[in-house]
Amino acid sequence: MFKELLIKELADKITDKRFLWCTILCTLTLLITESVLLNDYKTERNDYNLRLLTQKEFIDKYAHENRLGDMVDIQRPPAKLSLFAKGISNDIDVNTFTNNSFNVLFPPIDFAFIIAAIYSLIAILFSHYSFSGESENGTLRLILSNPVSRTILTMAKFLGGMLNILFSLIISLVVGIIYILLDNNITLVSTDLMELGLVFLLSVFYISIFYLTGMICSAITKSSSSSVLLGLFIWAVFTLVIPNLSPWVASQLFGVSSINKVEKELKIIGGIERDDLGRKLSKEIYEKHSNLMNIINAAKDNKFLLAELENNADLKSEYLALQKEVTNAWDQANATQNAKREKLSSDYFSRVDRQIALTKAISCISPFAIYNYAVTDMVGSGLHAETYFKVAKKNFEVTLQQFVEARVSKIKKTDIMYDNNKYLDIKDRPEFSFREEGITGRFSATLSNWILLLVFNILLYVALVWQFNNMKI
């Protein structure tokens, strides 16, 4: 009996003209979206490569130790699978060479949005008729007059409806992938396809939540019109209200200072205050070596001073000691101010991280938020991917700093006139090469989201079976 009920449900849905039109419209929407996102991705990739080249040429020509940290801006390349889930912009703090204000006013939708908003709505519209509609026209009473349990009927209706929606989803996704593969500039390897397969499974879990929701509404209400209104209300709460309200609630519970205020304080600490402290410490040293400073100030140029030092061993020894003391003074100034900067920055971003965690926890009341977190992290454009990049960036900064310190130490051994504001040749420096996290790491990062979506499905299915078993026909 289950087989016959499943076939009936499949036939009812697949012969519905709404199913055909939904499939066509979703596929066309995805194609248009992929066209826009593909163009954006190629533009972002070109901008990224141009920024890297411009920065490399600038550092090769003008690098000096004192301001090297301001010259090196380690940037994240655009994620290839962001074609399917845009997520967090890679250049959110970078002015691209082709800025377009309309991209902010009207951001492009993506595959994740089509699933999260459109297909979830389709699931509600296709499932609201499941029980209330058939109860109105007498079909449900006729079916239950046969030896079939309500639990079996519930399962058949759920699987039949979901299989139809998944058929439409598969068509849309396959067409989108084929469109991407037709572009010679984009190559999807087996790992990319596996990740898209996991995205598809996530989408199945997500859509089934709303299909079950629509069926529950159909079992609760006495008319199909009431069930669709109730379903649309729940859809709006899950997809619009909770995700947009959660950041405001988190900010009220755990406030954070303005980033502009913090950045201004960081610039003052690392700029004006650092220079003032360095000059103060250096001045004390210069006063201690007043005789030597008179000789240095009287020198016409560095060549004359170097000749004086070469002819007077004691003077040279004192000059080297002076240089070392001044270097140590500036190192002390840098260390003192960097410690202040680090504390201020650490405290601020610690509070930001806690506010983000609270926002995420509140928004996870909604499957819409859970799905978006999971999909963007799976394709490398979400919060976890951003954290992964920051770790790689920090490790490279340490490597580059060690390289520069070794190079400066080597130069100082042969150049007693070295100045950290002089040009520093580091053309052979290590280059930052970012490799995106593997599929195993991404799956592990999204495991909690998988579990939450599964729990939603189990609870809703149990609620559906209970509600339908208690429904009066």
Is 347 contained in some domain? Answer: no
Q: Which amino acid is at 287?
A: E
443: tokens are: 């799956």
Confidence of residue 365 (pLDDT cuts 50, 70, 90): very high
Integer Cα distance of 119 and 203 in angstroms? 9
Is 302 contained in some domain? Answer: no
DSSP 93-106: TS--TT--THHHHS
3-state helix vs strand vs coil in the chain, percent to 5: 80, 0, 20
Is 317 contained in some domain? Answer: no
Is 339 contained in some domain? Answer: no
Confidence of residue 97 (pLDDT cuts 50, 70, 90): very low
Write the pLDDT tens digit of every residue in 409-456.
888 778 777 777 788 888 888 888 888 889 999 999 999 999 999 999
Write the pLDDT tens digit of every residue in 183-220.
888 888 889 999 999 999 999 999 999 999 999 999 89
- Torsion over CA: 390, 434, 382, 52 (sign): positive
Is 337 contained in some domain? Answer: no
Is 129 contained in some domain? Answer: yes
Is 459 contained in some domain? Answer: yes
Supply the range of the domain harboring residue 100.
Answer: 2-256+436-469
Question: Is the full-model pTM beyond 0.75?
Answer: yes
pLDDT at 451: 96
Is 385 contained in some domain? Answer: no
Question: What 3-state class would DSSP assign to 62?
Answer: helix
Domain count, the chain: 1
Write the pLDDT tens digit of every residue in 47-90.
988 988 998 888 888 888 777 777 888 888 888 888 888 887 65
